[in-house]
Amino acid sequence: MGKNTLIGGSIWEEYSQKVQDLMNHPKNMGEITEEQAKADGCKLIVADFGAESCGDAVRLYWEVDEDTDIIKNAKFKSFGCGTAIASSDTMAELCLGKTVDEAVKITNIDVEHAMRDNPDIPAVPPQKMHCSVMAYDVIKEAAASYKGVDAASFEDQIIVCECARVSLGTIKEVIKLNDLKTVEEITNYTKAGAFCKSCIKPGGHEERDYYLVDILKDTREEMEHDKVQSQANEAESDLAAFASLTMVQKLKKVEKVIDDNIREMLMMDGGNLEIIDIRDTEDGFTDIYIRYLGACSGCASSSTGTLYAIEEILKEKLDKQIRVLPI
């Protein structure tokens, strides 16, 4: 089915093809009867979960081999929107062949990622991201029923928004994945803070341990730190690699740095430069011979301040063992 054939509007471009296909042709929709489970030598588990935040609900059926705890079959019924159907179908598919303990580790992030056509592009628009949370919660209910425990005992994540059942890990993941910058964007993507709003910031009707405003601030700081560290690592890698390049490769690298960082500065004063030669020396330096052009050729700073600035930029961008020599 094509991207726009469900309704014909461009809104469907926000949904992955996998989601569109599963909305109309879910693979695991249906139910499992007690008789079928017994015939297959399995225990039947039926679990329900309803999302008060949007009114959707899902029922999950498992056939579990009690000797191995492996989920041999999984079906679902979904009472909600097309995205809830696609999420529930994907959730059921992810459960197949896993032990109950392994299935409990499936998260709403796993469900959403599994529905993507492209690993870097979300499978659904922001306002539908919460549907995968419902699939995540019904697994906990099924596992709790099988083991005879409370579903809360499986919760190894901190729930920030009780209304939409959104965890701290999910919020941080979504902020980083989509480069979110505002609380409103977090709400659009996860539904956290969309209902009672007490998790947005202090002062709501219920005191919380975590608030979206603080999570956003801390996560953005983590992202900036990671970005700076990544850039530093890349720069260090580039520095180490320059010495091993061929002469032609070195020339191209030097020309790019000059074009990106130096040439415009010289041309603003009516000058320019050209690279005459690049030579590796026995003492481990790379000597770059340049000729000044235009106003730079007669400038007093061409052998002092300007020369120093050019050399420092090349050292910073390429290799600390660079010397620039004017001819």
Tokens 């000597």 belong to: 287
Q: Which helix (H) or strand (E) holds 225?
A: helix 212-242
- Residue-wise burial string across 270-309, b where 16 or more C-beta atoms lie within 10 A, e elsewhere: ebbbeeeebeeeeeeebebebebeeebeebeebeeebbeb
pLDDT in tens, 123-176: 988 667 777 777 878 999 999 999 999 877 776 678 898 777 788 988 998 999
Query: In one letter, which amino acid is 235?
Result: A
Distance CA 71, CA 98 (A): 6
Single pTM value for the model: 0.52
Distance of CA 246 to the CA centre of its chain: 37
pLDDT of 243? 81
Domains of the chain with bracketed CATH? 1-155 (3.90.1010.10), 157-242 (1.10.10.1100), 247-326 (3.30.300.130)
Catalytic annotation, residues: 54, 131
Handedness of CA 249, 253, 256, 262 (dihedral sign): negative
Query: In one letter, which amino acid is 77?
Result: K
Query: Tens of pLDDT along the chain (327 residues)?
Result: 333 344 445 567 889 999 999 999 999 999 999 999 999 999 999 999 886 556 678 999 999 999 999 999 999 998 888 988 999 999 999 999 999 999 998 887 788 889 999 998 889 886 677 777 778 789 999 999 999 998 777 766 788 987 777 889 889 989 998 999 999 999 999 889 987 789 999 998 778 899 999 999 999 999 999 998 888 777 666 656 788 888 998 999 999 999 999 999 899 989 999 999 999 999 989 999 999 999 988 888 888 999 999 999 999 999 999 999 999
What 8-state DSSP symbol labels residue 296? G
For the chain, the residue count is: 327
Q: What are 321's two structure tokens?
A: 């063992």
Contact criterion met (CB below 8 Å) for 257 and 318:
yes
Contact criterion met (CB below 8 Å) for 61 and 32:
yes
Distance CA 49, CA 63 (A): 18
Q: Identify the bridge partners of residue 70 per DSSP, sorted by sequence position.
A: 65, 99
Q: Which helix (H) or strand (E) holds 50?
A: strand 43-50
Distance CA 215, CA 196 (A): 18
Contact criterion met (CB below 8 Å) for 161 and 193:
yes
Distance CA 146, CA 143 (A): 5
Distance CA 288, CA 296 (A): 17
Distances (CA, A) of 43 to 15, 27, 141: 36, 22, 15
Distance CA 190, CA 170 (A): 8
Handedness of CA 9, 14, 15, 17 (dihedral sign): positive
